């Protein structure tokens, strides 16, 4: 297991450099970082739809509302891209535990405890990513319903990207919960996952319906 410890922050990387790193024989960046970048792209598309709505006389009645939505989408975009780097950091913390000595019982116990702590951190990051994607799914509905109809197809693309990012984050949640020994943490995480997925399914359907109604097509 090879950790990529000297990565350029994702927000400062070119697309080509990020994809080269993603394709390389190294563990990071991986699926979590890719999911975060996918979510950030979804947020960027929503911002684009809003920017094409703002300043358009046809949509003057939703100008103030759209400005508020833009602040949200941009905040989500920056948070999501930051989560790509947090995913790398969380993985590196787990990877570091594998290098800890385990010759004596005391060393084995210390290593196990450190691993469990790192795994909790590695669970919280994809949970945070899923939460941000849920917030984005909820934002898509009003933007698709009231935004510039000429670019609502981009909101529909954002819908699929946000959903993909959320589901990808849940993969990492599931893997880490499986490896954790803290029964209370696992129980809380399992309940949180179930609630999040239920909320996401509802938000996805509402946003999808809004896109379909505005575009006049079935997605």
How many residues comprise the chain? 219
Tell me the CA end-to-end span of the chain in Å, nearest whole number: 40
Residue ranges of domains in the chain, CATH in brackets: 10-215 (1.20.120.680)
Instruction: Return the structure tokens found at 60.
Output: 């003057």
Question: Of 210, 26, 30, 27, nearest to 10 (Cα)?
Answer: 30
pLDDT at res. 12: 86
Question: Quick one: how far is CA 31 from the chain centroid?
Answer: 11
pLDDT one-digit tens code per residue, 30-86: 899 999 999 999 999 999 999 999 999 999 999 999 999 999 999 999 999 999 999
Rounded percentage of the chain residues whose pLDDT exceeds 90: 89
- Model confidence band, residue 5 (pLDDT cutoffs 50, 70, 90): very low
Q: Tell me: the pLDDT tens digits for 172-219?
A: 999 999 999 999 999 999 999 999 999 999 999 999 999 999 999 999
- Quote the CA–CA distance of 25 and 20 in Å, as a whole number: 10
């Amino acid at each position: 297991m090879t950790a990529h410890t000297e990565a350029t922050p994702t927000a400062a990387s070119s697309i080509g450099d990020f994809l080269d790193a993603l394709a390389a024989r190294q563990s990071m960046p991986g699926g979590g970082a890719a999911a975060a970048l996918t979510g950030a792209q979804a947020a960027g598309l929503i911002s684009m739809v809003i920017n094409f709505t703002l300043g358009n006389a046809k949509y003057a009645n939703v100008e103030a509302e759209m400005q508020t939505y833009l602040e949200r989408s941009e905040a989500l975009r920056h948070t999501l891209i930051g989560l790509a780097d947090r995913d790398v950091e969380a993985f590196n913390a787990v990877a570091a535990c594998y290098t800890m000595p385990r010759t004596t019982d005391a060393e084995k116990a210390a290593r196990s405890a450190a691993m469990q702590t790192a795994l909790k951190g590695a669970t919280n990051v994809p949970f945070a990513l899923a939460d941000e994607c849920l917030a984005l799914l909820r934002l898509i509905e009003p933007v698709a319903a009231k935004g510039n109809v000429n670019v609502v197809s981009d909101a529909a693309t954002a819908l699929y990207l946000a959903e993909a990012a959320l589901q990808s984050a849940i993969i990492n949640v599931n893997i880490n919960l499986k490896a954790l020994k803290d029964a209370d943490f696992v129980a809380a995480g399992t309940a949180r996952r179930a609630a999040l997925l239920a909320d996401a399914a509802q938000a996805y359907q509402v946003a999808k319906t809004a896109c379909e109604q505005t575009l006049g097509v079935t997605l």
